[in-house]
Amino acid sequence: MDTSQAQLLGRWRAELQGRSAPVLLQLTPHPLLRESVHGTLQRDGSMVLLSGDVDQGQLTLEESTDGKHISANWLGTVQDGSCGKEIRGIWSSDTTPPISIPFVLRKQAPE
């Protein structure tokens, strides 16, 4: 199944291995790139910006803590049989040394 930009829109709950609290993401249509998304996530009391897309079931999201530089990446695969509502992959920071953590993203019902 090929997942589209429209299926990424909305609220997602991310569970990162080793973190007790989930991270909530909100994705909306990107204002300049038609097939892409942008949005925000809340982590440790801070707002982080997101931008990315999905292509042939592969998710790529870049996060930025300052709105200018990439601070981390989400690379994942839409899970077969999930109707585009579950994505599993690796979150990687651009720190020295880099950190890589497995994640599960699950689409949340609209409020």
Q: How confident is the model over 2-31, as pLDDT tens digits?
A: 667 788 899 999 999 998 888 999 999 988
Assign domain 5-107 to its CATH superfamily: Calycin beta-barrel core domain (2.40.128.20)
Could you tell me if residue 10 is left (phi over 0), alpha (psi between -120 and 50 degrees) or otherwise beta? left
Q: Residue 73: what pLDDT?
A: 96
Task: Tell me if 12 sits within 8 A of 109, measured CB to CB.
Answer: no
* 44 vs 71, higher pLDDT: 71
Average confidence (pLDDT) over 47-67? 92
Res. 77: pLDDT tops 90: yes
Res. 46: pLDDT tops 90: no
**46, 12, 16, 13: which is closest to 28 by C-alpha?**
12
